[in-house]
Amino acid sequence: MSELRYARMIVKAEFYAYMCWLKNNKLFAFMTLAWPYLMAAFILGLGTALGSLSVFASKVGVGDPIFYIVLASGVLVSSINVVDYSAWTLLDLKWLGVLPYIMASPPGLRRVTMYGLIIPAMISSAISLTAVAPVAVFTEGSLGLVKVVVVLGLVYLATIPLIGIAVIAGSLSLIFKEESFVSFLSPLMLLVSGVYYPLAFLPKILQVFSYIVPVTYVVEAAKILSIYGMPPFNKLFWIAGILVAMSILYNLIAYPGLRSVEKNVRKHGIST
Amino acid sequence: MPTVIEAKDLYKTYTEKRGLIHRKVKRVEALKGVSFKVEKGTVFGLLGPNGAGKTTTVKILSTLLIPDKGRAWIMGYDVLEEPEKVREIIGVSLSVERGFFWKLTGYENLKYFGMLRGLSGRELDKRIRELMDLLGLLELGADTKFYEDFSLGMKARLSLARALIHDPPILILDEPTLGLDPASSRHIRNLIVQLAHEEGKTVLITSHNMWEVEVICDYVAIINKGRIIAMGTVPELKRMVSREIPIEITSYAGKLVSEDDLEKIVKDALGIERVAVKMDKQGEVRIRILVENGMEDNVVNKALEILRARGLRILEARVMEPSLEDVFIKLTSGARS
């Protein structure tokens, strides 16, 4: 069977299963819509209690602070969803006892994981950013909607390297039987992406670390979009380029990583 | 009949390492040279106690585990060299308790796994309905019920349905009736026999339920401590452990003949020394004859002939064959000593 046929087959199967899962967990779908607002409300509440929106805007370097916080929260929530879902997938499959059946299916673990994770990541990102669209339209009119679409495109570009990072962490957890590899990813991303504060506030080591996290660049794009009226596409293309490079780099590590997981699991055995 | 599953000299030692800093290493020898062949259209049982190496063997054949040494082939495809080919022609059930997504229904779970095998559309829907009907899952409402609400019996049936979703010629089932209620066990047993004997599929099952193996398997391999210690049909295995088989005949003699006379008559006529006769006050006589394994049918017929010729009424005749459990206990205790 050709690689393309495997990819098509897996994408269809994962799309079906994820849509069924959302249908059967309606509260989760609702929470995915509500979560960006909860985060934005928390940050806005905390920010206005400690200072003012204009201070926040000048310190973080954004234009319209409400637009930015809501949009950036959408970016952050979708990224956390992607990382959490992707990183925990291998362990979840193991705990559910599904992993051996994925391994015993013709496409095998590597293909099902790499092609399969793209679908839930894209759907959950679309839900999170659709949730923030009404506020974007309310604050900036139809241009706000264009900006949400641009950010969604960048989030999709960031999804691929994020899956790569998450799969590396999930693979390490499976090999070493240590869950800590996946549980620190989301908090770390939240810390170093500079969503709610300037990156200059971070210690030098974390600032360096923030450059290798894809979310940082999407957040940067949200900042740019909050400043400019029309999206400055020349600046956004740079960001898109960096994300594409990260996609290639991280997945070049993740794919062989999964190969070694599969080999490791086949060597040491998997509980059934 | 052609061989469709072959395992040759399989060895496997598990090395378990835990922790990143303080590495603890534990070694367990699971297989020590396992070899067997399975013919097309038969049910082959791998029988053994817990930890004997059954599941390890099944995992190797299902391409889930790499042996340290040895080879295995499924319909000529090497499980190590051509795992993708092997996966296309086998249906696997490794655990009846889990292995599905809890928040999907039985139908949705089967559809997902069917799609992973390249099935789709009406063909897949039809296949799922057929299988759910065949396994009695439709009448249990498993098509619309979440997997988390399934009983163990429903889970086992769904596991078998998944193994059959792509209509594979080979089925590998690890303890397919473990922990099930009698009705579910019987349903699955009947289906396994039907699949092998009527549809020509080859089924390899593992079990430590001796009665079940005796009832459904055409061939049995007894595995203990990573080694196959006996293999053959159930009658062949029984003959392996028992040189002498007791025959018990109950008849009514009344006052036709005395206990001692009858014993002498039977001994002389059969030429067998190990005959014991016991008669009660009502004239009912119990004759116990110890015969060499394999001779039991001839001896029973001849003994009945003699007794009838003397005018005795036959009430019951039984060949006291050892059960597979007797065989198993004798062989595995032998291996321990």
B83 and B225 inside one domain: yes
Report the residue of A4, A9, A20 to disrupt the B interface, i.e. the one with the largest count of B CBs within 10 Å: A20
Q: Is the pLDDT of residue B212 over 80?
A: yes
Does residue B21 surpass a pLDDT of 70?
Answer: no
CB contact under 8 A, A101 and B62: no
Q: A105 contacts in B (CB within 8 Å)? A: 87, 113, 116-117
Taking the alpha carbons of B183, B185, B187, B193 in that order, is the dihedral positive or negative?
A: negative
Tens digit of pLDDT at every position of chain A (272 positions): 688 899 999 999 999 999 999 899 888 877 877 877 777 777 777 767 767 777 777 777 777 788 888 888 888 888 888 888 888 888 888 889 999 999 999 998 888 988 888 888 888 888 888 888 888 888 888 888 888 888 888 888 888 888 888 888 888 777 777 666 677 778 888 888 877 777 777 888 888 888 888 888 888 888 888 887 777 888 888 989 998 998 888 888 888 877 887 888 888 777 66
Measure CB to CB from residue B100 to each of A10, A98, A269 and give the nearest one.
A98
Residues B90 and B167 in one domain: yes
CB-closest option in A96, A176, A266 to B102: A96
| Minimum-distance CB partner of B116 among A20, A100, A112 | A112
Q: Which residues pair with B44 in a beta bridge?
A: B204, B219
Range B172-197 average pLDDT: 89
Answer whether A108 sits within 8 Å of B59, measured CB to CB: no
Asked which of B206, B240, B274 is the last residue of a domain, the reply is B240
Q: Is B95 on the interface with A (CB under 8 A)?
A: yes
Residues B293 and B225 in one domain: no
Residue B117: which domain range? 40-60+79-240
Q: What is the interface pTM, i.e. ipTM, of the complex?
A: 0.83
Query: Among partner residues A9, A16, A100, which is closest to B118 by beta-carbon distance?
Result: A9
Looking at the complex, report in whole angstroms how far the Cα of residue A13 sits from the nearest Cα belonging to chain B. Answer: 5
Angle of helix A65-96 relative to helix A185-192, nearest 10 degrees, comes to: 160
pLDDT at residue B222, as a whole number: 92
Do B229 and B295 belong together in one domain?
no
- Residue B78: what pLDDT? 96
Nearest alpha-carbon partner for B94 in B156, B22, B149: B156
Q: How many CB pairs under 8 A join A and B?
A: 108
The rounded percent of chain B whose pLDDT value lies above 70 is 96
Calculate mean pLDDT across residues B141-148.
92
Q: Do B88 and A106 touch (CB under 8 A)?
A: yes
Do B263 and B232 sit in the same domain of this protein?
Answer: no
- Is residue B171 scored above 80 in pLDDT? yes
Q: Is residue B327 scored above 60 in pLDDT?
A: yes
- Please tell me the distance in Å from A110's CA to the nearest CA on chain B: 13
Beta-ladder partners of B292 = B244
pLDDT score recorded for residue A200:
77
Same domain, B195 and B300: no
Chain A contact set for B66 (CB, 8 A): 263, 266-267
CB-based contact (8 Å) between B293 and chain A? no
The predicted pLDDT at position B314 comes to 92
Q: Name the average pLDDT for chain A.
A: 83
Comparison of pLDDT for B334 and B231, the residue scoring more: B231
CATH number of the domain that residue B163 is part of: 3.40.50.300
Tokens, residue B139: 């009448």
Indicate the pLDDT class of residue B19, thresholds 50, 70 and 90. Answer: low
Q: Structurally, how many domains does chain B consist of?
A: 2
Instruction: Write down the pLDDT at residue B23.
Output: 67
Contacts of B56 in chain A (CB under 8 A): 269
Are B111 and B205 found together in one domain?
yes
Task: Mark whether B90 and B159 lie in a shared domain.
Answer: yes
Same domain? For B165 and B296 the reply is no
Q: Which of B25, B64, B69, B113 to mutate to test the interface with A (most CBs of A within 10 A)?
A: B64
* Contact flag B174-A270 (C-beta cutoff 8 Å): no
Average pLDDT over residues B104-127: 94
Choose one of B187, B210, B240: the last residue of a domain: B240
Residue B300 lies in a domain: yes
pLDDT score for B86? 95
| pLDDT tens for each residue of B227-267 | 999 899 988 888 777 777 888 899 998 888 888 888 999 99
Residue B103 lies in a domain: yes
- Could you give the number of structural domains in chain A? 1
pLDDT band at B334 (very low <50, low <70, confident <90, very high): low
Q: What pLDDT does residue B336 have?
A: 42
Q: Could you tell me if B130 and B204 lie in one domain? A: yes
- The pLDDT tens digits of the residues spanning A163-214 come to 888 888 888 777 777 666 677 778 888 888 877 777 777 888 888 888 888 8
Touching check for A9 and chain B: CB below 8 Å?
yes
* Max Cα-Cα span within chain B: 87
Q: Are residues B85 and B137 in the same domain?
A: yes
- Say which residues have a Cβ less than 8 Å from residue B122's Cβ, sequence separation at least 6: none
Query: Does the beta carbon of A4 lie under 8 angstroms from any beta carbon of chain B?
Result: no
| Residues spanned by the domain of A137 | 3-268
Q: Is B318 exposed, middle or buried (0-12, 13-18, 19+ CB in 10 A)?
A: exposed
What is the C-alpha to C-alpha distance for residues B132 and B140, in angstroms, rounded to an integer?
9
pLDDT for B20 equals 62
Helices (H), A184-232: 185-192, 204-210, 214-227
Pairing state of beta strands B227-232 and B219-224? antiparallel
Chain B partners within 8 Å of A177 (Cβ): 18
Q: Are residues B52 and B165 in the same domain?
A: yes
